[in-house]
């Protein structure tokens, strides 16, 4: 069985995450609402929870927002978090929002 990739769900990675700019989320009302709150959460003292932020799917698994469009193109290959963790060799290789967290 494939082993999950350990990508820390921390503020530094969330800030560099491209998921919020992904066309998959472009028309998602749920993702837009979560993004309105994330700045406040990121400025706080505690680490955000996976359902606070519409992203880092490679780390936290499938999207909590059900109104995303996974038929759209994904931007994972342009993401620093994706590249630094060698996720081009992981499965799934992108669309973590639909297929779950990264595994090697």
pLDDT category of residue 37 using cuts at 50, 70 and 90: confident
Three-state DSSP class for residue 48 = coil
Is residue 100 pLDDT above 80, yes or no?
yes
Domain count along the chain? 1
Domain contains 57: yes
Is residue 49 pLDDT above 90, yes or no?
no
Range of the domain at 45: 11-99
Averaged pLDDT score across all residues of the chain: 90
Domain contains 2: no
Domain contains 6: no
Domain contains 48: yes
36 and 78 Cβ atoms separated by less than 8 Å: no
Domain contains 24: yes
pLDDT attached to residue 1: 65
Domain contains 5: no
pLDDT attached to residue 47: 74
Of the candidates 51, 53, 31, the one whose C-alpha atom is nearest the C-alpha of residue 40 is 53
């Amino acid at each position: 069985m494939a082993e999950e990739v350990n990508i820390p769900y921390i503020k530094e990675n969330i800030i560099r995450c491209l998921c919020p700019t992904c066309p998959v989320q472009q028309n998602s009302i749920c993702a837009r609402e979560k993004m309105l709150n994330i700045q406040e959460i990121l400025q706080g003292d505690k680490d955000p929870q996976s359902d606070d932020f519409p992203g880092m799917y490679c780390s936290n698994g499938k999207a909590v927002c059900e109104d995303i469009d996974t038929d759209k193109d994904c931007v994972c290959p342009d993401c620093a978090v994706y590249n630094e963790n060698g996720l081009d060799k992981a499965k799934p290789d992108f669309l973590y929002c639909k297929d779950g967290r990264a595994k090697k």
